[in-house]
Amino acid sequence: MAPAPPLPWRDPLEAFWPLRDEPFALLLPGAGAAARWTGLFAHPRDSRLFPAACEALCVARDWLDQITPALGPDGSPFRTGVAGVLGYDGGDSGDPALTGAGLYDLVLVFDHQERQVHLLESPGADAGRRSALLSLLEAPPPPAAARGAGRMTDSEPREAFGLKVEAVRSRIACGEFYQANISRRFEGQLGDGDHPFDLFRRLAGGSPAAFSAYVRLPGCAIVSNSPERLVRVQARAGGRVALASPIKGTAPRGATPGEDEGQASALLASAKDRAENLMIVDLMRNDLSIACRPGTVRTPVLFELSTLPNVHHLVSHVEGVLREDCSAIDLLASCFPAGSITGAPKRRAMAAIREIEGGPRGADYGSVFWAGADGELDASVLIRTATCREQPGGWSAAFRVGCGITWDSDPEAETLETEAKAERLLLAIRGAGT
């Protein structure tokens, strides 16, 4: 269905404000080149919570058969279809409040470059829901984001993480697996009068990320400042192309330009970090091969430097062409959860992670995704992500940060890496430096 004429510009953070407590409302900024596009998903035709990601993806397949795609302007990554959040855990270990999805036959797309807003509408969309979505463009401006004065602590003594690193190294030495991503959990409260969407606004202003997302579910809000894509599906001349971009290898930013350049150079030259990255690249090649044509999976970019406000990362890119009998949802199912936050071999590493971490991960290391009825898809990895839960008088907050552990890992160095990764979220929750 052809897009309607553009609408007057409205900042998407302002437009979303009335939806901050609306279940199954999602805001996805940062997609596309130079953060040109933002997608706003709300007032779904259908929505529900699920006990596990696999069940959510099964329903998503059925939903996509019920809708005709409406595409945005040229270059826009968003379209009508399915969107939601997949919690890391499944079955009895999971939290059903952290896996939810909806069918969206109406989507607002914000073009920051042209300063226009586009309404995407599939045939049969309800006029009342359409009116409710358009009313967001005329709502009064929201108050300034609360500064934040939250309290966050490590959920266990700092030294405990070093012991977990040693536990992983011992199991690697026994030949159980090659690498496993072990995490530390931080938990606490948002400040009095603070709200998860205020936290999201502070992160968007001070530390924007390529795959940031705000997802409101009943009783909780997911605030993601993720820099990592899990998998993307795009239609090209040669077929539907799948792209995965695993991140593995991290170094802190330097205090001076010279020190910062030295940290980046050391990361690029690090045999340990390159080996970690290559293990996950091999794992992603295997995951993509499940749904891609034989002989099409390749790695066009290895060990690319990605620089964020608080850390440098190594990022690689893996591509393949989907088989005709496989959908984008099939691909996501084959890749979830991401190899970069599990390990290699994946299933054995996941079992060890559960034993060593001692509990479910919830939304952490899951995914926020959208899937168009035209066969396209994009999905993130939920790192640098806070799960906020409504409580009497305020909101709790919790998140995990982790590292890929190999035999060469040093417990203190890995502990420092988790602290560098946690820095921006901690600052945003506590209100310091934002």
Domain for residue 366, yes or no?
yes
Answer yes or no: is 3 within a domain: no
Kindly state whether residue 22 falls inside one of the protein's structural domains.
yes
- All residues at 6 or more sequence positions from 256 whose CB lies less than 8 Å from its CB, including other chains: none
Cis ω before 337 (30° cut-off from 0): yes
Q: What digits encode the pLDDT tens for the residues 285-296?
A: 999 999 999 999
Two tokens at 167?
């536990």
The encoded tokens of residue 118 equal: 């586009």
DSSP string, 228-258: -EEEEEEEETTEEEEEE--EEEEEEPPSSHH
Residue 178: CATH number of its domain: 3.60.120.10
Please tell me the predicted confidence (pLDDT) of residue 34.
59
Tokens representing 168 are: 């992983």
Query: E strand or H helix at 268, and its extent?
Result: helix 257-269
- Give residue-wise pLDDT tens across range 29-50: 965 445 889 999 999 999 999 9
Instruction: Tally Cβ neighbours within 10 Å of residue 62.
Output: 12
Q: Mind listing the pLDDT tens digit for each residue in 75-84? A: 888 999 999 9
Confirm whether 2 is domain-assigned: no
Percentage of the chain lying above the pLDDT 90 cut: 75
Task: State the average pLDDT for the chain.
Answer: 91
In a domain, 327, yes or no: yes
The per-residue pLDDT for range 295-329, each reduced to its tens digit, is 999 999 999 998 887 788 899 999 999 999 999 99
Q: Is the pLDDT of residue 434 over 80?
A: no
Q: What pLDDT score was predicted for residue 96?
A: 66
Whether residue 342 has pLDDT greater than 80: yes
Residue type, 24: F
Locate 399 and state its tokens: 């998140």
Q: Is residue 167 part of a domain?
A: yes
- pLDDT value for 216: 98
The pLDDT of 182-189, averaged and rounded, is: 96
pTM: 0.93
Residue 218 dihedral angles phi and psi, to the nearest 5°? -55, 120
Which residues touch 310 (CB under 8 Å, ≥6 apart)?
207, 252, 253, 420, 421, 423, 424
For residue 239, is pLDDT > 90?
no
Buried b (16+ CB within 10 A) or exposed e, 94-125: bbebbbbbbbbbbbbbbbbeeebbbbbbbeeb
Q: What confidence category does residue 212 fall into, taking pLDDT thresholds of 50, 70 and 90?
A: very high
How would you class 34 by CB atoms within 10 Å of its CB: exposed for 0-12, middle for 13-18, buried for 19 or more?
exposed
Residue 144: which residues within 8 A CB-CB, separation 6 or more? none
pLDDT digit string (tens) for 215-225?
A: 999 999 999 99
201 φ/ψ sector (left φ>0, alpha ψ -120 to 50, else beta): alpha
At 357, is the secondary structure helix, strand, or coil?
A: helix
Partners of 225 in the beta sheet?
Answer: 212
Which DSSP string do the residues of 128-190 spell out, in sequence order?
HHHHHHHGGGGSPPPPPPP----EEEESS-HHHHHHHHHHHHHHHHTTS-SEEEEEEEEEEEP
What are the pLDDT digits (tens) for 245-265?
988 888 888 888 899 899 899
pLDDT at 95: 66
Q: How far apart are CA 335 and CA 288, in angstroms?
A: 7
Domain range spanning residue 112? Answer: 12-430
Whether 88 has a pLDDT exceeding 80, the answer reads yes
Peptide bond into 5 cis (omega under 30): no
- Residue 195 pLDDT more than 90? yes
Instruction: State the Cα angle at 178 between 175 and 184, rounded to 5°.
Output: 115
Query: What is the model's pLDDT at position 75?
Result: 84
Give me the torsion for CA of 423, 428, 432, 434, rounded to 10°: 110
Q: State how far Cα 58 lies from the chain centre.
A: 20
pLDDT at 33: 46
Three-state DSSP at 42 gives coil
Q: Which two tokens stand for residue 317?
A: 């890119």
Residue 384, pLDDT score:
94
pLDDT at 130 over 60: yes
CA pair distance 156, 154, nearest whole angstrom: 5
DSSP string, 372-417: ETTS-EEEE---SEEEEEEETTEEEEEEEEEEEE-TT--HHHHHHH
Average pLDDT score over residue span 149-157: 91
Quick check: is 4 in a domain? no
Per-residue pLDDT for 401 more than 90? yes
Q: Using CA atoms, how far apart are residues 343 and 283, in angstroms rounded to an integer?
A: 8
Contact (CB, 8 A) for 244 and 231: yes
Catalytically active residues are 228, 248
Q: Name the residue among 17, 116, 124, 20 with its Cα closest to residue 76.
A: 116
Query: If DSSP codes are grouped into helix, strand and coil, which group holds residue 127?
Result: helix
Query: What's the structural domain count of the chain?
Result: 1
Q: How far apart are CA 265 and CA 324, in angstroms?
A: 42
126 is a domain residue = yes
Please, which pLDDT band fits residue 385 given cuts at 50, 70 and 90?
Answer: very high
Strands 211-217 and 179-189: unpaired
